[in-house]
Structure 1
Amino acid sequence: MQGKVNILICDDNIAVHESISAYLQAENMEYESVSNGEEVLYKLEDQHFDLLILDIMLPGLFGTEVCRKIRLTSNVPIIMLSAKGEETDRILGLEIGADDYITKPFSPREVVTRVKTILKRTHYTFPSEDAILTLGEMKIDRNAFNIKINGSRMEFTPKEIELLIYFTINKNKVLSREQILNKVWGYDYFGDTRAVDNLIKRMRKKLPEKNLGFEIKSVYGMGYKMETST
């Protein structure tokens, strides 16, 4: 990873800021703290952050609405925090574009571990004989963690890139929603898989409509398949 990581923490509880920031400092990460959603949006317009830790229950704009607004213009990784432990809240966080979800009360060590896991995907180099994946007109650089289509770099979120890697490695295979959720998010979860459908819906909107050499197809009653043209 090049340079220091800069994290933005948004929570209206000062104890959360103090506990998480202490662990970030111990890992030599820089951070800034804000207490409401409006401040988050203002900060992201003015500065670069490598990751956002975002509470759901915020004064003014809820964290879910902040996340939706961010995803209109930015792919910054987002970890959502919530005092609610219901699975529906977790799925909602994933549906709107969050990269991870942590339920309060939590250990700040766990939060920082999740931060490091996501940053490894987006910053670290992963030596591999398959570092470059090619499918049709799409080229995925797993070391740089970026995607080019027809030579132009595309703006995808970390989760979207992980899903495209998973699809590419398993091209022409039908993958169930449960398999995708477990692989891309790391949850062994069988139930409401709307997060997968929403992620694919957002991803399809970003992909050019023609001459890709592949297509993400829905397979009724089963899941999805990355089908190649050749």
Structure 2
Amino acid sequence: MCILIADDDPVVRDVVRRYLERDGHTVIETADGPATSAALADTGEREIELAVLDVMMPAPDGIDICREVRSGPRPHTPIILLTALGDEDDRVLGLEAGADDYVTKPFSPRELALRVSSVLRRSQQQPDTEQAILRDGAIEVRTALRLALIDRMPVELTPREFDLLVFLLRNPRRVFSREELLAQVWGWDFGDLSTVTVHIKRLRAKLGCRHRIETVWGRGYAWARNRAETGGR
């Protein structure tokens, strides 16, 4: 796998590179925003399969580049952000920009390597062909095409938002805690639970009044089926 490490600190890049190479990855290093944007836009033989971006590197920063990727020709490229410890606003902005995960500095290089493996494993799952079309009211999801529609109009979702929507649609009326969603949708045994909170918020916003994500206080979230389709039950 070809991994991009973008950080203006050469020590951070060197340590992360050694850990990722130990796991069998090829690593490309960049130190600022322009070089990172150029590397991600390169259509040569070495296609970047995951990017680790420092939020605070020289502009454009990691969050801006994350937005560029999500609106560019390779919108599904997995992204992990490196953020300063305690900068909650940066973490939330990163998740809202479409990042798959984030790791706070100072961090354990081994933990970052495990996060990289987890995100890659999830992104490489085979296309879903089982139950290829899911419907609830005006919402239609074609899982094999990874396409979400409202009133037959496409809705732009990040890969993780799409996975979350599919999971909820396939498990209507069941309440899932944030820990359960983190395990089932993200495939993580550990992680910041605010990741789930932010993705729920973004998914609600993108689905608008059509969403049926209910907050069950003290327990988690559930998808309430369209009453028109369930006989009003």
SS of alignment partner, residue 101 of structure 1? strand
Deviations 1:38-68 (A, max 9, x none): 2222222223321110001111222222222
The answer to whether structure 1 residue 217 and structure 2 residue 199 are counterparts is: no
Among 10, 30, 36, the alignment partner of 2:32 is: 36
Q: 1:75 to 1:200 in 2, by over 3 A?
A: farther
Query: Taking every aligned residue pair, what percent have the same amino acid on both sides?
Result: 34
Distance 2:70 2:22 in 1: 30
Among 140, 153, 177, the alignment partner of 2:143 is: 140
Does the aligned pair in 2 maintain the 1:135–1:168 contact within 8 Å? yes
Does the aligned pair in 2 maintain the 1:95–1:196 contact within 8 Å? no
- Greater Cα shift, 31-40 or 68-77: 68-77
The TM-score normalised by the length of structure 1 is 0.72
Deviations 1:200-228 (A, max 9, x none): 434x49xxxxxxxxx53354887663635
> What amino acid maps onto 1:53 in structure 2?
V
Structure 1: where are the runs of 5+ without partners? 206-214
What is residue 20 of structure 2 aligned with on the other side?
24
Q: 1:199 to 1:72 in 2, by over 3 A?
A: farther
- Greater Cα shift, 84-93 or 33-42: 84-93
Q: 1:184 to 1:89 in 2, by over 3 A?
A: farther
Structure 2: where are the runs of 5+ without partners? none
Q: CA deviation at 1:33?
A: 1.0
> What amino acid maps onto 1:17 in structure 2?
R
The answer to whether structure 1 residue 9 and structure 2 residue 5 are counterparts is: yes
Distance 2:142 2:193 in 1: 30
Distance 2:165 2:113 in 1: 26
Q: 1:191 to 1:119 in 2, by over 3 A?
A: closer
What is residue 225 of structure 2 aligned with on the other side?
227
Q: 1:72 to 1:83 in 2, by over 3 A?
A: same
Q: How does 1:66-77 map to 2 (within 5 A)?
A: 66-73=65-72, 74-77=75-78
> What amino acid maps onto 2:205 in structure 1?
K
